[in-house]
Amino acid sequence: MCSILAILDVKSDPAPLRARALRLSKLQRHRGPDWSGVYACDQAILAHERLAIVDVVHGAQPLLNPEATHALAVNGEIYNHRELRASLASPYPFRTESDCEVILALYREKDTAFLDELNGIFAFVLYDAERDRYLVARDHMGIIPLYMGHDEHGNLHVSSEMKALVPVCRSVREFPPGHVLDSHDGEPRPYYHRAWRDYEAVRGGPSDPQVVRGALEAAVRRQLMSDVPYGVLLSGGLDSSIIAATAKRFAARRVEDEGRSEAWWPQLHTFAIGLEGAPDLRAAREVAEHIGSVHHEFNFTVQEGIDALSDVIYHLETYDVTTI
């Protein structure tokens, strides 16, 4: 979980906008406490707050191409970045092992035609200084949050959270999942198209539980890509129990090299939080014991939960009771 903040399509004096971008980006620093970076020119400003997960030493953002003419700020992870690197038609001088740097290489080689090749969760802003062009894109399902708005001068603002736009934007809207905004087009357009979005296209189609199981296991495995310790939230319910059990199966080997080496943190840790004596906590303990994870349990009181509500709503930016 990182954050991005961009000011694009600049129509006012760019001099004070850098300071504004840094001030607004700071409102999202809880998303990325490991690094703060900024790219700025007269036409675009990109700020990034980083939570280091892959290549913690060299993956600071915004990332630049070797000529420093393309700047990229990404929130998310590209799980198939190694396959995409290997598929490039011409060599690219990568500077880091960051999973996100491959976006710069793909843009150089394929323009925007690469978006549907990305297997991951992401929201990014790419600025091309050579063509005074920007791209804003969000993953296929909107797993990573992204919002956009305009200030009184018409400057476009893009950020990971609404709280960074509200102080300056007259209106704020969600950036649609599976879309890309190309400054040459002017409006977000869909890049993600699947037949199964239309029920009639799959009505009466085959269903194979083994295929579903294989796809779920592959999804869990690729999301274990990490150079830092990780854990699984375990409520004791069916969904989290299946995910935890699947993660445990793959936790011992490093997914970055297809399991050829031992994982840096081979023991899976699970976490549960709830009221003392809650049945969910009891179920989580049973699941953790069954799968053999190192389990951690945290309790809170009803009053502590009520006291935390305002902070929860502030960070989630929703009043939806099922989410809270």
Report the 3 state secondary structure along 167-224. CCCCEEEECCCCEEEECCCCCCEECCCCHHHCHHHHCCCCCCHHHHHHHHHHHHHHCC
Is residue 89 within 8 Å of residue 3, measured between CB atoms?
no
Which residues have C-beta within 8 Å of that of residue 24, sequence separation ≥ 6?
5, 47, 157, 159, 164, 165, 167, 168
Is there a catalytic annotation at residue 2? Answer: yes
Helix (H) or strand (E) holding 17, with range, is helix 15-26
Dig out the tokens for 10 from the structure: 């600049």
Phi-psi region of 186 (alpha: psi -120 to 50; beta: other; left: phi over 0): left
Tell me which of 2, 41, 100, 169 is the catalytic residue: 2
Dig out the tokens for 312 from the structure: 């929860």
- In the DSSP assignment, the letter for residue 317 is T
Catalytic residues: 2
